[in-house]
Amino acid sequence: MPTHQSSTPPRRYALQSLFGPGQDGMVSHTPHAAHLGIRVVETGPGFGVCALPFREELIGDPRRRVIFGGAITTLIDHASGLAVACAVEELTAIATIDLRVDYLRAAQPDVELYARSDCYRLTRNVAFVRAVAYERTADDPFASALGTFMLGANRSDSPFERLVRAKEGGGE
């Protein structure tokens, strides 16, 4: 008999100690995210929510005052990498394999934009994510996306490792 509800058995998450709302400090290690003003709004098992404040510099179409699609790609890519980091049991380097963004409608100008990404499948080497971007609620997105990420992509430290060490070691 097929069942149509998802059930996730409890397990360990590498970033468990950082789960919850208000994780602003999680972007400080990524120069471009900090430059854009991206904030981590919330994290949890296998998901991440990021916010991008509206700025005139991010406009792609001056006539309509719409944010450039690529800035939304960056917001979604960032939330998606975060979702994968929030899904793995052990921290590892994460690299984007591919990302497809569908622009469902123009994003509203002059308001903060959000992206929520969910890692819906994790294998030994590859993580699969889906994401939406919205102004007010995830039920009314202006963009949706699908992405795949490679795990253990390189030998560099995961940027999250230092954060977890600081948290679990009782602060910086």
Partner 1 sequence: MNRIVDAIPYARFLGVEVERNDGALECVLPFRHEIVGNPALPAVHGGVLGAFLELTALLHLLDDSSSERVPKPITFSVDYLRPTGPLTTRARAEIFKLGRRIANVRVVAWQDDRSRPVVAGNGKFLLS
Out of 41, 46, 77, 86, name the contact with partner 1 by CB under 8 A. 77
> For 152, left (φ over 0), alpha (ψ -120 to 50), or beta?
left
Helices and strands of the chain, counted as H and E runs? 3, 9
Check: CB of residue 146 under 8 Å from CB of residue 132. no
Check: CB of residue 38 under 8 Å from CB of residue 76. no
The contact mask relative to partner 1 for 85-124 (x = CB under 8 A, - = no) is: --------x-xxxxxxxxx--x------------------
Interface region with partner 1, contact rule CB under 8 A, candidates 9-17, 39-47, 59-67, 83-91? 59-67
Interface region with partner 1, contact rule CB under 8 A, candidates 10-18, 31-39, 40-48, 119-127? 31-39
Looking up tokens 């394999």 gives: 97
Looking up tokens 């959000």 gives: 114
Out of 25, 44, 45, 60, name the contact with partner 1 by CB under 8 A. 60
Closest CB to partner 1 among residues 45, 108: 108
Count of residues that interact with partner 1, criterion CB under 8 A? 42
